[in-house]
Amino acid sequence: MLKKPEGLRLALGRKLDAEWAAWACERGDWPLRITLGKPASAAWQDAAAGLRAWIEAWRAEEGVCELEWEEVPSRAHGRQTLPKAVVFRDADCLASWLGRPASLRRARAIRQRILVRWPASEAAIEANLAQLVAETDADLERLEAVVEWLQANPASGLFRRAVPVRGIHSKWLETRASMVAEFVATQPGRPCLESLGLRAPPRLIRWRLLDQALRDALGGIDSAATSVAELAGLRLHFDCALVIENLETGLALPDVPGCIAILHLGYAVEALSSIPWLASIPVGYWGDLDTHGLAILARARGQASARVPHMQSIMMNRATLFEHRDLWSFEETARSGEAPSGLDEAESELFSELRDNVHGVGLRLEQERIPLEWASREIRAWYKA
């Protein structure tokens, strides 16, 4: 098949998109030589006009790229000079032919700038080159200043906002923490704020007391957001705990004697493993009835198994799902794969049915859609049991 300039540009544009970082870091096999195909002898007779257009299209590229030509005999037209191959001596030649030289030049300049400063940073540069190229010159200067400060202060214990580098703020560092950590390289492992020697603010957990006596014992507080350690240290006696996924649902719950509701953890349910008093009381979990809700339930049981191996699900079953058929909605992105460990047999079967779209594509029942009166009866039934 004959390769035309426009088709080859599309193909090589995709190659540039895939390999530009490696090319900017002086890797890649060069020169790149691509043969352009040879017309069959019958084509001279049947499609002579198309062949002439193909030849002229490549002739117009001379001076923009390097072309190899060859002479071939033709019975109908005598000897003809045809384009044989296009050759790109290096990545810059290819990027120029594609009309995209600027990004590659900028990537090379940034790489050289950083290597001069940190000669051992080649791997970090290539891994983060796309983000580096997208940074402004001012942000590159901030990056250099932050990395050097963190290298000089590997265990500062400061919060992000307290890092004394001009021009940065918490979001600046938070969105670049992974890249900064790779350049700092203070310790192996997943890049995070702790690996930079910085301290992250404690994650706050929202909870609510579902008993007036408990509220009175805490000065009338109904709900609060505290650190996990502060929640674990509450000097109150609880008869049971509810883990509720949706915040507004948890705030609307009716009173349940001696009960605390822990709200809106999402997949961060490993926090439950740090609350020792959960081990000695009944714990119920209620979340959305969809693949993600069941996965969070499984994660809660697995991550917090040292404290709450006895965690029970509430309204996470087929009966609840079909009781509220008129309130179904749909997951945009359902979980795939096997049912997660941590579910009982009935829960695993329901996960598989939802994953496989047995009852409808992407089917879900969000917990806040269930009428509160109906949900309250189910919670009280669980409490009495």
Lowest mean pLDDT among 143-147, 220-224, 309-313: 309-313
Q: CA–CA separation, 314 vs 323, rounded Å?
A: 14
| Spatial contact of 313 and 319, defined as CB atoms under 8 Å apart | no
In the chain, helix, strand, coil percent, each to 5? 50, 15, 35
pLDDT of res. 189:
47
Q: What is the spatial distance between Cα 189 and Cα 256, in angstroms, rounded to a whole number?
A: 44
Using DSSP bridges, classify how beta strands 363-364 and 32-35 pair: parallel, antiparallel or unpaired.
Answer: unpaired
Q: d(Cα 212, Cα 195) in Å, to the nearest integer? A: 44
Q: What is the pLDDT of residue 361?
A: 93
Do residues 67 and 58 lie in contact, with contact meaning Cβ atoms separated by under 8 Å? Answer: yes
Tell me how far apart the alpha carbons of residues 39 and 118 are, in angstroms, rounded to a whole number.
53
Higher-confidence residue: 187 or 47? 47
Q: Say if residue 152's pLDDT is above 50.
A: yes
What pLDDT was estimated at residue 304? 61
Instruction: State mean pLDDT over 267-290.
Output: 93
Average pLDDT of the segment spanning 192-220: 88
pLDDT value of position 60 = 93
Strand partners, 86: 34, 67
**pTM score:** 0.62
The predicted pLDDT at position 373 comes to 94
Q: Which ranges of 153-290 would DSSP assign to H, the alpha helix?
A: 170-174, 177-184, 212-217, 228-232, 247-252
Position 194, amino acid: E
- 9: which residues sit within 8 A by CB, 6+ positions away? 97, 98
Give residue-wise pLDDT tens across range 161-188: 888 999 888 788 888 888 998 898 744 4
Tell me the range of 73-87, 327-341, 352-366 where mean pLDDT is highest.
352-366
> Of residues 201 and 238, which shows the higher confidence score?
238
C-alpha pair distances (Å), 161 with each of 55, 167, 187: 63, 11, 22
Tokens linked to 4: 């035309």
CATH fold for domain 204-384:
Dna Topoisomerase Vi A Subunit; Chain: A, domain 2 (3.40.1360)
pLDDT at 79 over 80: no
